[in-house]
Every structure is written in structure tokens, then in C-alpha cells.
Amino acid sequence: MSAIARKKKTRVQSLNDFTVFGTMAVGSFASGSLLAAYDWNMVLWVSFLPLVLAVAVLTLVRSADTSVAEGSQ
């Protein structure tokens, strides 16, 4: 069973690749300009913010999954 039709599989994969590598390129150029304008500590502090956001989202998703699982028992 597949969530995507066979005809669109290549197009969806190419969109995914473009999104991943495009985001990676933007992040690389942004960190390089941040390092050139400021210092390494600024790069670390700026990269800390998405990490905190990802941990918070994962914690919320996990707590929501736990409460749904407990409600179904």
C-alpha cells in the first residue's frame, strides 16, 4: 500500500530532495555569514534556538500521543 500514486512518486521525491538540500544550502550560507559578521558563539546561540523548538514540539507530540493512548484503554 502506498500513500502516493506511482506516477507522482518521482515528482514527490524530487520536491523532497529540493526542499532538504535547499534548506541545507540556506542554512550553510546563513551560518557562514553569521560567523563572518560575529563569532562562533553567535553561531552556536542561533543554532540553539531551533534545537529548543524541536525538543519542545517533540515533547508536546509525545505527550499528546500518550494522552490519546491512555484514553483509548
Distance between CA atoms of residues 27 and 33, nearest Å = 10
5 phi/psi in degrees, rounded to 5? -65, 150
Distance between CA atoms of residues 63 and 57, nearest Å = 10
Interval 39-65 mean pLDDT: 92
Give tens-digit pLDDT for 9-40. Answer: 889 999 999 999 999 999 999 999 999 999 99
pLDDT of residue 1: 52
Model pTM score: 0.60
CA gyration radius, the chain: 19
Q: pLDDT confidence of 73, banded at 50, 70, 90?
A: low
3-state SS assignment for residue 48: helix
Q: pLDDT confidence of 65, banded at 50, 70, 90?
A: confident
